[in-house]
Amino acid sequence: MLYLLTWKGTSSIWLLGLHGVYSSFFNATDLFSLVIKRHIDVRHVIVNRRNY
């Protein structure tokens, strides 16, 4: 019984850690995609100005 409880506790801690890693990874990718979008937008604006 005690073994089961400790296993549940460690597995939940491990899952929480994994979730934290995943969320930080997704936040980083979101930031990266945002930067790429901004970069593309700026490039489009420069190209459009050149066309006028």
Q: How far apart are the first and last CA of the chain?
A: 75
Chain length of the chain: 52
Average pLDDT rounded to a whole number, residues 23-49: 82
Residue 43 is part of which domain span?
21-52
Asked, for residue 29, whether it belongs to a domain, the answer is yes
Asked, for residue 46, whether it belongs to a domain, the answer is yes
| 24: region left, alpha or beta (phi > 0 left; psi from -120 to 50 alpha) | alpha
Is the per-residue pLDDT at 6 higher than 80?
Answer: no
Asked, for residue 3, whether it belongs to a domain, the answer is no
**pTM exceeds 0.85:** no
Instruction: Give how many domains the chain has, as a whole number.
Output: 1
Is the per-residue pLDDT at 1 higher than 60?
Answer: no
Asked, for residue 41, whether it belongs to a domain, the answer is yes
